[in-house]
Amino acid sequence: MEERELKNGSCRVRIGEIEIEGDADFVKSIFKKVIEAAREILSPENSNTAPDTDPKKNSQALNKATDPTEPRTLSEGEVRKLIREFLERYDIKKRNEAAVIIAYHLNKYLNKKEISPEDLKKFWDNKVKPPKGFVQLLRDTSKKQWFERTGRNTYQIAPLGIHFVEEELKRKLAGK
């Protein structure tokens, strides 16, 4: 294991093929998740066979287990919690950003391809001030090309919306 403190006060930890870089608290939290995932993967209760000794396969399994973008099916309550954590982590204040984050999570974790104003209202977190009209919010956000209209008052998250959630927000956090 290699650990280095970087000039900007952040740190980098490298374990085999896994590298975590960011502020110290972020690195520690991800490192803990990696260790927990490794313990779970390697625990005898989870497998009838011996653990795989191929480091590439184990590294891929750990990356998949700790990757927040890896799709899984969750309950609505778990998705609400993920949305709240995501909004807090990235300090989201803008309604259009909150809308695309909600749509992203509904698509990824509940396999909900089309988003309606009712869906946004149902999963809206009061960390971000709710809009007066969810229909108008969807229309306005689609002008940024984060949503594509699929029907009357129904939208799906567009590739630019996915890119915003998966890439641009990471850069925003890294820039802090």
Higher pLDDT pick, 8 / 109: 109
Q: What is the pLDDT of residue 107?
A: 94
For the stretch 127-172, pLDDT in tens is: 999 999 999 999 999 999 999 999 999 999 999 999 999 999 888 8
Residue located via tokens 């869906």? 119
Domain around 47: 2-66
Does residue 71 belong to any structural domain of this protein?
no
Which amino acid, residue 176?
Answer: K
Q: What is the pLDDT of residue 51?
A: 44
Are residues 83 and 48 both part of a single domain?
Answer: no
Q: What is the pLDDT of residue 96?
A: 96
The last residue of one of the domains, among 37, 66, 95, is 66
Higher pLDDT pick, 120 / 71: 120
Are residues 82 and 127 both part of a single domain?
Answer: yes
For the stretch 30-72, pLDDT in tens is: 777 777 776 777 766 654 444 444 544 544 544 444 455 555 5
Half-sphere exposure (Cβ direction) of 150: Cα atoms closer than 13 Å: 13
Torsion of CA 158, 159, 160, 164, to 10 degrees: 100
Q: What is the pLDDT of residue 49?
A: 45
- Rounded CA gap, 73 and 71, in Å? 7
Are residues 26 and 61 both part of a single domain?
Answer: yes
For the stretch 72-82, pLDDT in tens is: 578 999 999 99
The last residue of one of the domains, among 66, 92, 116, is 66
Which amino acid, residue 51?
Answer: P
Are residues 54 and 105 both part of a single domain?
Answer: no
Are residues 60 and 87 both part of a single domain?
Answer: no
CATH code of the domain covering residue 130: 1.10.10
H-helix or E-strand containing 2? Answer: strand 2-5
CA-wise closest residue to 143 among 102, 96, 91: 96
Are residues 82 and 167 both part of a single domain?
Answer: yes
Torsion sign (Cα): 89, 94, 97, 101: positive
**Counted domains in the chain:** 2
